[in-house]
Chains A and B, each alone.
Chain A
Amino acid sequence: MTAAVTAPSRFAAWPGHAWLGLAARVYLGVVFLMACVHKIAHPEVFALDIAAYDFLPTELVNLLAITLPWVELVAGVMIIVGIRARAAALLIAVMLVAFIIPLAVALVRGLDLSCGCFAPGVGEEDPISGWTLVRDGSWLVLCLYVLLLDRAPLGLDYLLGRRRAKT
């Protein structure tokens, strides 16, 4: 932090961000871990979901279906435990933007799709709608909050670093 105390930096220095940030991190992490489990177990189903959006060239569909869930997994774990939490928040934000764009395009085109976000058949169908956009958008806001205001003092990086500093 800079020495000059301006209003925004005073807001940024508010100690409550640590707890809000922790809550946001755990929530986002759980969401992404839940989302990735089924995709990792069944990449072929996820590939079909991606293909249904008719957004990517066929050649890239499988590659994305294979790799994306693992980025979700690693970023989800990192943001929860607080290892390079901001980098993880950045990755999650980029992924959310990458989900939101095809989603919005599919909505505008009127495609009626299974959204492909979570495991299918968990009680009910999961068609995309404006609410999916609202949901992803609110997650993005949480992400940006973590990215901009949470310094992850309640995370492994910081706690380990402090112990190291003491000894």
Chain B
Amino acid sequence: MSAGTRSMLRDAVVVAVGATALALLVNALRPDGLALVASAPHAVIVPCPAEAVGPATPIEANDPRVTAADTLVVDAREATDFATWHPPGAVHVYYDLLAESPEYHDAIAELLRTHREARLVVVFGDDQLGYTTQDGVPGDEAGTGFRLAGALSAQGLKNVHYVLGGADALRAALAPEGSR
């Protein structure tokens, strides 16, 4: 090893140690400094596709984005309904209106792992047309599609939509295409 290389390595170590010391000093001085050793595991809720960006938005059943290749369709209905009919490629995340427990975390994490290509999430449930939410948004706020879409959105999923009119509207919209 040449003298030049040795002195470069020494410089690098000195700089790294110095910068580390500076970092620790600043961290100790700043009021919001972190604990050096994390006491509890960091709450990592599969963070991407990124942070929550407001509530889920409605989407028409016949919107072409619903059938786009990079759209992930989520069925919020009960397993028996899912078994009877669901759009091709749809995944099942049952939303229990009575339980409302955060057991969806695992399901959502799994969704994100297995559908990384999804750019849009479209949720449908047993929603019916003809209702208006408190915010004046058309759709049934008691429907499972609306609820699950809201829950997904709140947990950090981006670009979540719920199908207006739920499963009935979606089935009607998809039926004429036959092949789908």
Interface residues of A, Cβ cutoff 8 Å to B: 43-44, 47-48, 51-52, 54, 58-59, 61-63, 65-71, 73-75, 78, 84, 86-88, 90-91, 94, 110-114, 120-121, 125, 127
Flag if A75 contacts B15 (CB, 8 Å): yes
Flag if B46 contacts A87 (CB, 8 Å): no
**Measured between alpha carbons, how far is A90 from B48 in the docked complex, in Å?**
32
Known pairs A70-B20, A74-B18; A43 contacts B27 (CB<8 A): yes
B100 within 8 A of A: no
Q: A48-B44, A52-B47 are in contact. List 19 more A-B contacts (CB 8 A).
A: A43-B34, A44-B34, A47-B38, A47-B42, A48-B47, A51-B41, A51-B42, A54-B44, A59-B38, A62-B35, A62-B37, A71-B23, A74-B15, A84-B15, A112-B112, A112-B113, A114-B50, A125-B48, A127-B50
Band of interface residues on B: 35 or more
Known pairs A66-B23, A70-B22, A120-B51; A112 contacts B116 (CB<8 A): yes
B12 within 8 A of A: yes
A17 to chain B, nearest CB (A): 16
A-B contact pairs, 7 of them (CB 8 A): A44-B32, A48-B47, A59-B38, A66-B23, A66-B36, A70-B22, A71-B16
Flag if B9 contacts A90 (CB, 8 Å): yes
B117 to chain A, nearest CB (A): 10
Known pairs A125-B50, A125-B158; A87 contacts B42 (CB<8 A): no
**Measured between alpha carbons, how far is A113 from B40 in the docked complex, in Å?**
21
B63 within 8 A of A: no
